[in-house]
Structure 1
Amino acid sequence: MTATVADARPAVAHPVSVARGYRFELVKLTSQWRIRLIVVACWIAPALFVAAVSQQTSLPVDTLFGRWMHATGWAGPLVILGFSGNWALPLLTSLVAGDVFASEDRLGTWRHLLVAVRSPQRIFVAKALASLTVIMLLMAGLAVSSAVGGLIAVGNQPLVGLDGHLLPAGNAAGNVLLAWVCAIAPTLALAAIGLLGSVALGRSPMGLLLPALVALAMQLAQMLPLPVAVRLALPGYAFTAWKGLFTSPGQLAPLLIGVVVSLVWAVTATVLAYLLFLRRDFTNLTSDGSGRRAITVGLVPLAGLLAVTIAILAAVTASATAGIQQTKVEAGVSTAFAHLYRVQTKQLNRPDVTEAQLQASTACTKGDGKVDPVGPGNDWRCVVSWHLPGVAATGQAIYQLDITADGRFMADGDGPKEVNGFFLVRTPIGDAPNPLWQFDGNVDLLPTPKG
């Protein structure tokens, strides 16, 4: 009898593909009730908020573009973007990226996941991509919902820029979209910091809170009169630098620097999280990776990155000051006043004039002339002068300025009453908001090229 013996070949366990691991991690994230609730909130709440506030008589004038929410639907998404950069997006990245690895520590499921996937590298990639997908979904909800709410409540109207020039509705839509796209970079930086905290700190609540705490620290730092190089080196600067898109010409250099810095931080923090994850001892159930080495390896490189970035930007920008100077403030106020004067002229059905005909000029002092006219503060006082064709007298208007450390200023009219003394102006079709009563502007913090 002849027996046929089959070759006994041991079964080879292949790692699960990244695509399958990604789908699995995405299902795990979206099956959580808190994630589903956040997704619904991000896609509905901004529209309701913008629509409700746009119909109120009292607008959030302290918020950038808040004073124009009654005039155009494109102001609402920018108000939401300002709020999201300071509060919403840091919290969302904390809840998603800051918990994507730590949840396995709390549940004690690392060994089961490793047996199923058989590749720590693919586990990390799948979790990082899944968390990024959810964060982008939440961010898209904030942008789309706020835009839809503004357009339905107010309409597709032109938007007044930060230097008073009028952006047509199409240009306003493009700039609003670009502003949200630029905000993706600092969001990625916070998400990467969340991944790093989730890997390095394990079950510790600090891993979950790390992106929010970093964002809060950066927000406090932006309120200080820091040198320009230090301000630009922070990974969250692009959350405020998008306002440079709404001046003419655009103040794009700070925005581009902010986006690049944020992306460098995102890549660095992700790589550190990946390296720490691969060094993790999953055989020890009592170890969650939150040892001293993990904290040191995660913290020291980021501190070094910040120091190197500051040194490079200080050499490139050649600016050791806060960047707010008298000449820049005067030029910003003059430009905004000239643009908005034409808007008021159109409201009152007066003969149109050009900015060149007005020849607007501004003289500013700080602290009643007792201190050097540099740096932020609410003690700036500016006198704007202009000329009208065929009129010998020179018009003058007084403004009190509050300039923040990031270069934004709010000019509050202080007379004469027929120009900027009242919130409303009497037009042939009824009372209308006075564009010269209060207006916002932005000072470019980078040095102005000579010549």
Structure 2
Amino acid sequence: MTVTENAPVTGPAPVTRRVPVSRGYRFELVKLVSQWRIRLLVLACWIAPGLFVVGVGRQSTLPADTLFGRWMHATGWAGPLVMLGFAGTWALPLLTSVVAGDVFAAEDRLGTWRHLLVAVRSPARIFVAKSLASLTVILLLVAGLAVSSTLGGLASVGDQPLVGLDGHLLSPGDAAGRVLLAWLAALAPTLSLAAIGLLGSVALGRSPMGLLLPPIVALAMSVAQMLPLPVAVRLALPGYAFISWNGLFTSPGQLAPLLIAVAVSLAWAVLATVLAYVLFVRRDFTNPAYDGSGRRALTLGVLPLAALTAVTVGALAVATPSTGSGIRQDKVQKSLATVFGHLYRLQTEQLHRPAVTEAQLKATAACTKSDGRSAQEGAGNDWRCVVSWHLPGVTAVTGTAVYQLDITSDGRFVADGDGPKEVNGYFLVRTSTGDAPNPLWQFDGNVDLLETH
């Protein structure tokens, strides 16, 4: 029996292989770094912070209203901390917006989804590849901010000890480790904003609102931190991790708020990423007019994050001992006395007086808010404190100093000396080698919102 020419040829069907995630990741990473705006951002993050820190180091005035800004002439380790404060408020939300907030929406604007799906053949792998590429670029940008500002500070000022938020001196090695930990802690809220950017990019399609979502959320979190919120609500917001690194620079460290804030931020990052994944794999890619998920963006996006916040607030309200603002009179007095005791020793060393210890000084503080006419708790610039201390060999109080305190809602305060002039009434002290900055004139401190003692 012979086979005719028109007889169909039978055989095994061709096997369609999906592109591995590693190849998709490399492809998406190349697409990102080939964009001119991404290249400019990388270049700016690796150069601009260092130039800024060097420029400030050469000026006579300092950003004293910024945390650690008053120490930028004293040590190079203050520069990366000043940059971290700026980055958490402005730079990191914008960077996550440009990278993660546009990684899916760009395909909608260009109309290239069908080509990508034909090449990769797996929406799930496309999502993983794009997410990993975005994460890589964001980590590169954050590393640039940290490394550049650190190198700029060390090059312009040097590797000197850093004064912590409780007034004690941190050795250069200790300061380096804590600066690194502070930047690592800031990665957690950065990842949560990046995940929100992914969610907005998937859910809102080519709409510019997806691109704006991370900075809008970050701005809302910053505004919320300025309000007199209860401690449990404050800690339940992922943006608190951008400021809770302050606790690394006290001794002992105020680590409980930091660890809680990092855990909350990571929970937001995981949930927002999962929601973005669910929306993406359920998407109808056959519709060329697709422009966002509409109502599903609300039900699968906003509502789960709101529920996570509510659950976190409830859990923290039960687990944490502090209530209200967490800023009580006894905490303020204890924190101020501790900072004063450490800085008094620093001033004693400047003036070449006999050394004294904090135990010998026995510094105490008596603080009142609004001259006692209101509740003695909460943030505000109406705290007035009188610090008293002893000198070795003298049983009675040998000195007092007055301070005006401005306490923010997150527990940070600025103490402004109000006399006597020889102690804290002037910004310079006369030493045997000339005038030097007076460490007791104006300084920063931190009240532990969860402190129980």
Q: For this structure pair, what is the TM-score category when the shorter chain's length is used for normalisation?
A: over 0.9
How far off is 1:13 after superposition? Answer: 1.5
Tell me, in whole angstroms, the C-alpha distance in 1 between the residues paired with 2:376 and 2:207. Answer: 48
When the two chains are superposed, the root-mean-square deviation of aligned CA atoms in Å is 1.5
Structure 1 segment 19-38 matched on structure 2, within 5 A: 19-38=22-41
Instruction: Please name the residue that 1:108 is paired with.
Output: 111
Q: Please, which moves more after superposition, 117-126 or 286-295?
A: 286-295
Aligned residue for 1:418, secondary structure, equals coil
How far off is 1:394 after superposition? Answer: 2.0
Instruction: Please name the residue that 1:359 is paired with.
Output: 362
Aligned residue for 1:419, secondary structure, equals coil
Is the Cα–Cα contact under 8 Å of residues 321 and 452 in structure 2 kept in the other structure? no
Equivalent residue letter for 1:396: T
Tell me, in whole angstroms, the C-alpha distance in 2 between the residues paired with 1:35 and 1:289. Answer: 25
138, 142, 145: which one pairs with 1:142?
Answer: 145
Instruction: Please name the residue that 1:302 is paired with.
Output: 305
How far off is 1:71 after superposition? Answer: 0.3
Taking structure 1 as the reference length, the TM-score comes to 0.98
Tell me, in whole angstroms, the C-alpha distance in 1 between the residues paired with 2:108 and 2:360. Answer: 69
Is the Cα–Cα contact under 8 Å of residues 25 and 127 in structure 1 kept in the other structure? yes
Instruction: Please name the residue that 1:208 is paired with.
Output: 211
Tell me, in whole angstroms, the C-alpha distance in 1 between the residues paired with 2:390 and 2:315. Answer: 45
- Say if 2:419 is the partner of 1:419: no
How far off is 1:10 after superposition? Answer: 2.2
How far off is 1:2 after superposition? Answer: 8.8
Instruction: Please name the residue that 2:92 is paired with.
Output: 89
Instruction: Please name the residue that 2:378 is paired with.
Output: 375
How far off is 1:55 after superposition? Answer: 2.0
Tell me, in whole angstroms, the C-alpha distance in 2 between the residues paired with 1:162 and 1:360. Answer: 17
- Say if 2:423 is the partner of 1:408: no
- Say if 2:430 is the partner of 1:438: no
Tell me, in whole angstroms, the C-alpha distance in 2 between the residues paired with 1:12 and 1:295. Answer: 39
CA offsets 1:251-302 (integer angstroms, 9 cap, x no match)? 0000000010001000000000000001111000011333212232111111
Tell me, in whole angstroms, the C-alpha distance in 1 between the residues paired with 2:376 and 2:405. Answer: 12
30, 53, 58: which one pairs with 1:55?
Answer: 58
How far off is 1:447 after superposition? Answer: 4.2
Is the Cα–Cα contact under 8 Å of residues 74 and 150 in structure 1 kept in the other structure? yes
Equivalent residue letter for 1:123: I
Is the Cα–Cα contact under 8 Å of residues 201 and 295 in structure 1 kept in the other structure? no
Equivalent residue letter for 1:430: G
Aligned residue for 2:134, secondary structure, equals helix
119, 122, 129: which one pairs with 2:122?
Answer: 119
153, 156, 173: which one pairs with 2:176?
Answer: 173
Structure 1 segment 253-402 matched on structure 2, within 5 A: 253-391=256-394, 394-402=398-406
How far off is 1:370 after superposition? Answer: 1.1
CA offsets 1:327-373 (integer angstroms, 9 cap, x no match)? 00000000000000000000000000000000100000011121121
Is the Cα–Cα contact under 8 Å of residues 280 and 289 in structure 1 kept in the other structure? no
Gaps of 5+ in 2: none
Is the Cα–Cα contact under 8 Å of residues 388 and 397 in structure 2 kept in the other structure? no
Instruction: Please name the residue that 1:227 is paired with.
Output: 230
Instruction: Please name the residue that 1:158 is paired with.
Output: 161
Tell me, in whole angstroms, the C-alpha distance in 2 between the residues paired with 1:2 and 1:46. Answer: 80
Instruction: Please name the residue that 2:67 is paired with.
Output: 64
Tell me, in whole angstroms, the C-alpha distance in 2 between the residues paired with 1:268 and 1:378. Answer: 38
Aligned residue for 1:155, secondary structure, equals coil
Equivalent residue letter for 2:412: R
Equivalent residue letter for 1:46: P
Tell me, in whole angstroms, the C-alpha distance in 1 between the residues paired with 2:306 and 2:321. Answer: 22
Equivalent residue letter for 2:421: K
Is the Cα–Cα contact under 8 Å of residues 331 and 448 in structure 2 kept in the other structure? yes
Is the Cα–Cα contact under 8 Å of residues 389 and 397 in structure 2 kept in the other structure? no
Taking structure 2 as the reference length, the TM-score comes to 0.97
Tell me, in whole angstroms, the C-alpha distance in 1 between the residues paired with 2:219 and 2:397. Answer: 51
Gaps of 5+ in 1: none
